[in-house]
Amino acid sequence: MKIFKGLLVAGVAIALLSGCGAKEEKAAEPNKPAEQTAAGEQPDAVTTASIVNDADAFINAVSEQGTWIIATLGDLTVDKDVVVAGEFHDKNKPDGDIYRKIALYTQDENHNITASFTLTVPKLTVQSENLRIQGGTVKGDVYVEANGFNLHESATVDGNIYFANEDVKASAKIDGKVTGTTEVK
């Protein structure tokens, strides 16, 4: 019986160690989690995404020191105004297009949205060029100050979208739903 228990413990230990050793995780930098595939984006050796579950992490992720893609894994409430700032490039490639994304969803391996989430914020100010909001709902007003804003068809703004001027408004692409007004203010 002792031999059987010893073999069982050894087998479990080997299984655990081989499972742990199969994928080495990098330690996360402060304010940045380890590299992950966020919201179904294809992994890339230089791509880093912020996967956020709380208000402070979200605020840091959308700041100038944040990341090009910010993904939530559930509903999120931020009790203060938030500014999305900084210039970022698609997949963090220096020669890539200027692009930033807030992914309010998860998806399967076929890129089908499996769950959508709500970001509740009093005011979301967009200062990053070519920001896309995709796959969920922003509950609050969005103030767009940068060109190229995109509300994907899978996203909703439960509030108003205000543009800094006519040029910024003309550069925007609103394919999603807006429950309030969309105007220059």
* Cα separation of the two ends of the chain: 78
Residue 68: exposed, middle, or buried by beta-carbon count in 10 A (0-12, 13-18, 19+)? buried
Q: Is residue 24 part of a domain?
A: no
Dihedral angle at the C-alpha atoms of 85, 125, 130, 71, nearest 10 degrees? 80
Q: Is residue 152 part of a domain?
A: yes
Name the β-bridge partners of 76. 119
| Spatial CB neighbours of 66, under 8 Å, sequence gap ≥ 6 | 31, 50, 60, 86, 88
The string of pLDDT tens digits covering residues 68-120 is: 999 999 999 999 999 999 999 988 898 999 999 999 999 999 999 999 999 99
Tell me what pLDDT residue 49 has: 67
Write out the H or E segment, with its range, that includes residue 157. Answer: strand 156-158
Q: Is residue 115 part of a domain?
A: yes
Cα separation, 146 vs 135, whole angstroms: 21
pTM equals 0.74
Tell me what pLDDT residue 138 has: 98
**Among the ranges given (8-17, 30-39, 84-93, 112-121), the one the predictor scored with the smallest mean pLDDT:** 8-17
The string of pLDDT tens digits covering residues 139-183 is: 999 999 999 999 999 999 999 999 999 999 999 999 999 999 999
Q: Is residue 63 part of a domain?
A: yes
Q: Is residue 20 part of a domain?
A: no
Q: What is the span of the domain harbouring residue 62?
A: 35-184
Cα separation, 164 vs 184, whole angstroms: 6
Cα separation, 111 vs 21, whole angstroms: 28
Q: Is residue 28 part of a domain?
A: no
> Structural domain tally of the chain?
1
Q: Is residue 153 part of a domain?
A: yes
Tell me what pLDDT residue 7 has: 34
